[in-house]
Amino acid sequence: MDWLAEYGMFAAKVLTALLAIFVLLLMVASLKGRQRKGEGALQVTRLNDQLARMTERLGQAVLDKPALKALHRTRKQEAKARSRGNTDRDKVFVLNFHGDIKASALENLRHEVTAVLELATARDEVIVKLESGGGMVHAYGLAAAQLTRIREAGVPLTVCVDKVAASGGYMMACIADRILAAPFAMLGSIGVVAQLPNFHRMLKKHEIDYEMLTAGEYKRTLTVFGENTDKDREKFQEDLESIHRLFKQFVTRYRPVLDIDVVATGEVWFGTEALERALADELKTSDEYVTQRIRQADVFEVHFARPKRLQDRLSSSMSAALDRLLLTWVSRFYNQRFW
């Protein structure tokens, strides 16, 4: 019993010390976060160097000495020519956009586009690796406007779609001079959707009144708690049709080769089918195209990053852990058969 009591006291002291250290670290991180609040930094990676490092590492493992020396000699000659300014190569800027329903990546995209347009010329190129299933109309309208800035500046714009560019995602993609899609990437969904539940009958059953006052005949049409009328539904549908009409006009402006009445049905097509319908210009992955351009130009990946607060990092880590746990459970349940 004496030993257990001593062990308990020791454990309590250790726990108290660890807790004190954790609180101290949290206070330091919070202080730094306040000092850097709202700040961000532009991160630039020269992909030519990144590929060269990977090639070097692989060469050390698989090449014999003469071949490895020849590779080193070639690399040195290229570096020497660049340092002397003897190579007048074009510049390619690679941006990444991974969109959610709110187009949250827009906040970084607008800074990246602004920075790139300060240096890019008509002989250069901007590549956007785009992945998005669409989302809010106003958010993706502004995201598309950011890419429109590149077109209007006269800088060639290429959009690469490896997985999906649908609805608002395709609204962004269609602005490009060229759209490259992976064979099974999903493109299209040129349509508009809105849905909401209505609890009016449940409230009425429990004798709960819901009051809503408006100024303006169409300030509110369909509601969640009020009683919706046929007139409300007609007006709401009219608004959706108006947005769809604007969507089709926007796509037609930047991709006049499309038969808009055929593709603006809300359907989604995979890469090969999208190519047949002129939704894409070529079947090619972003990795293949970027590697191709590295051989022809100086390629820079540009990313605007904001410092994350400690609580955000902890929340992100917990979310990722839960996602992995869910994926593991689902894969086991379905015997790991996926398409």
d(CA 64, CA 71): 11
**92 strand-pairing partners:** 125, 299
- The residues, ordered by sequence, that sit 6+ positions from 139 with a Cβ below 8 Å of its Cβ are 102, 103, 106, 168
d(CA 132, CA 161): 9
DSSP state of 124: S
Catalytic residues, by residue number, are 167, 219
Q: What distances in angstroms separate CA 47 from CA 63, 294, 301, one per listed residue?
A: 23, 7, 7
Rg (CA), the chain: 27
Q: How far apart are the first and last CA of the chain?
A: 60
298 token code pair: 């100086």
d(CA 312, CA 307): 10
DSSP state of 132: B
d(CA 161, CA 185): 6
d(CA 214, CA 225): 15
d(CA 158, CA 176): 5
How many CA atoms lie less than 13 Å away from 191 in the CB half-sphere? 14
Q: One-letter amino acid identity for 151?
A: R
- Inter-helix orientation angle 286-294/47-62, to 10°: 90
Q: Return contacts of 332-339, CB within 8 angstroms, 24+ apart.
A: none
How many CA atoms lie less than 13 Å away from 92 in the CB half-sphere? 21
DSSP helix/strand/coil, 315:
helix
263 token code pair: 């593709």
